[in-house]
Structure formats: structure tokens, C-alpha cells
Amino acid sequence: MSDTTTVTEIARNTIRLETQSLKLLEESIGFDFEQIVQLIHQSHGKVVLTGVGKSGIIGMKIAASLSSTGTPALYLHATDATHGDLGMVEKKDVIIAISKSGNSQEIKDLIPFLKNNGNKVIGMTANPDSFLGKQSDHLLFTPVEKEACPHNLAPTTSTTVQLVMGDALAMSLMDLNGFRPQDFAQIHPSGSLGKKLHLKVVDLTDDSKIPSVSIEASLKEVICEISEKRLGATVVEYNGKISGLVTDGDIRRVLEKNENIGGLVASEIMTENPITVVEDMLALEGLKLMQAKKINHLIVLGKNKSYKGMVHILDFIKEGLNG
């Protein structure tokens, strides 16, 4: 770094160069891209990404993005392919070979075998006149005027453009495949993402904490039930049906407004027609409902409208759900 060049200037120049290439990439997207998306969509096989070096790492990421959004894909290292791993490639698979120069020796060694195997080859390169560009059945042009590296050596701009092209492919195929949040949930069962897509409100209930009192329950009985179940509220029932909800906030407001509280019963304190949800509602949707209604409790009902339990907004936070 020269004395007159600051770290900030280098960082901004890096972003500027990569942004300029992304703009060129955007302008290059057209009919050829649509043909490639249709080819992959209509294929009965998987997508096989291949490359070496930094392009190979980008291939791994693109394969992961495709697989997680409804398009089966895997990464095959170009060198390993010619040492036995070609066995995982079927004739019906579509190949995406990635190389900035398009003349990587490993790619040049691999492409003839893939062509002889009957695979459709899509080349992703910045050099359409290269070996890869000319040997491919279809071309994903990834324009790069200059690497962000000050020596124009380290793959920087080129890998960013490759990565974004991969995302463009994945999102286009995702839409074409009609890939829904429910489909996403099936292949993302773990972690916070899995919880958002799988966890239901009933999963947050505790069978040992199902607060309930009758409409004739005294104020003392209501307070005891809320304290025992430790959810800050209790359901009020009449003839096995939910009539209302009493929260600790309701009790505080009653105490502030009434001097004579000895004769108060649950029906005089409760909020009628409390918000209820069905047990199979996604927890994330339940949280959004609570935030929209500005409430801290949800009453969970079974499919036959039976009272299944209650959840507090803190139950969602404990599970890492925050909307």
C-alpha cells in the first residue's frame, strides 16, 4: 500500500470494481440464459458443478444453493473427476464447468470425457473464445474487466461475478420449479431456519402448564392459578368452553380501580373472546400475530377446538424466534 492510498480507498475501489462487473453481468442476461434455465429445468438428471481453485469453491457454493432450493446438484472437483470420480456423473446430468480463463488444464482434460458421455456442458467463463467457451453447448458469460486485486491476479471480481451468476440460476430455477416455503422446510429441518419453517405453536405448550379457572372462580383462585402455572395468565372456562382470558395485567387494573375486591369473580375480570389459534399454526406465524395484536399470550386449540394449552411470548424468544 502506497503512502497516499488509504485502506478505505482500497476497500471502496474493490467494491466499485466488483459492482461495475456485476452491472455488466446484469446487462448480459438474456435469451441464452433463459435457454440454459429451461435446459436444467427439463433435465431428468442432476446438475454437476465442476472447477478448480477459487472457481471450484464457487462451484461448491452454487451446488449447495441449487440443492437447497429444489434443484438437485453436486460439486465434482475437476482433477478428482479424471481419477475415478466421473463415476458419479450420469448421462442425463447437466454439467456446469466454471473457469475464468476457460483454459484451465484440468477443465481441458475433463470436457472431452463429459462430451463423449453425452452430457450437456454449460461453460461459465469470462472468455467466450477459450477452450471452455468453444467446447460448451451453452455459455454463461461472466464478464470481468479487471480483478479487484491491485496486481490483477487474485480471483476477486471474477469469483464475485461467478457467485452472483449462480444465485441468478438458483433463483430462476426456484421460481420455475414452484418451490414453496413448505418445500424449503422439508430440506432445512435443523437450526433456527428449521424452527421457523417447522415449529408449531403446540410445540411450545407445556402439558403441566395449562392454566384454567371457571367463571365463578374468586379473585384469589385466579391469582393462585396464574402463579402456579407461571404463564402470567389463565383461561376462563364455562361448560368446557373458553369464555375469556385473565392476565396479570387485568388483575393489576382491577386492583387499581376497585377498593372492594372481596367479591370479584373471574367473569368480572376476564377479557372476553380472547385470540385463539389452531395447534398446527407455525410458531413464527403465531409470533407475528402476537406482535400485530400487541398481546403476550396465545391460547392454543386442538382440531376439535379443545383447549390444548397456552404460550407466552417469551416461549418464542427462548426458541430463538424473533419474527
The cell for 297 is 399470550
How far apart are the C-alpha atoms of 312 and 245, rounded to whole Å? 13
The cell for 207 is 402439558
The cell for 176 is 420455475
pLDDT at residue 137, as a whole number: 97
How far apart are the C-alpha atoms of 84 and 94, rounded to whole Å? 19
How far apart are the C-alpha atoms of 260 and 12, rounded to whole Å? 70
Q: Report, as ranges of residue numbers, the positions in the chain whose pLDDT lies below 70.
A: 1-4, 189-193, 323
How far apart are the C-alpha atoms of 209 and 221, rounded to whole Å? 16
Strand partners, 96: 49, 122
Instruction: Kindly report the number of other CB atoms within 10 A of residue 133's CB atom.
Output: 19
Question: CA nearest 236: which of 247, 245, 228?
Answer: 245
Q: Tens digits of per-residue pLDDT, 66-108?
A: 999 999 999 999 999 989 899 999 999 999 999 999 999 999 9
Topology (CATH level 3) of domain 7-179: Rossmann fold (3.40.50)
201-318 CATH, one of 3.40.50.1820, 3.10.580.10, 3.10.28.10, 3.40.930.10: 3.10.580.10
pLDDT at residue 249, as a whole number: 92
The cell for 171 is 433463483
How far apart are the C-alpha atoms of 123 and 131, rounded to whole Å? 10
Question: CA nearest 307: which of 214, 197, 224, 196?
Answer: 214
Tell me the three-class secondary structure of 268-311, residue by residue: HHCEECCCEEECCCEHHHHHHHHHHHCCCEEEEECCCCCEEEEE
* Domain positions in the chain: 7-179, 201-318
How far apart are the C-alpha atoms of 193 and 236, rounded to whole Å? 35
pLDDT at residue 321, as a whole number: 83
Helices and strands, counts by H and E, the chain: 14, 12
49 close to 40: Cβ distance less than 8 angstroms: no
How far apart are the C-alpha atoms of 158 and 99, rounded to whole Å? 9
Would you call 235 helix, strand, or coil by DSSP? strand
**DSSP class of residue 199?**
-
pLDDT at residue 91, as a whole number: 94
How far apart are the C-alpha atoms of 149 and 126, rounded to whole Å? 16
Q: CB-hemisphere CA count at 13 Å for 274?
A: 28
Which residues are within 8 A (CB) of 57 and not within 5 positions of it... i.e. 6 or more apart?
159
The cell for 124 is 461459465
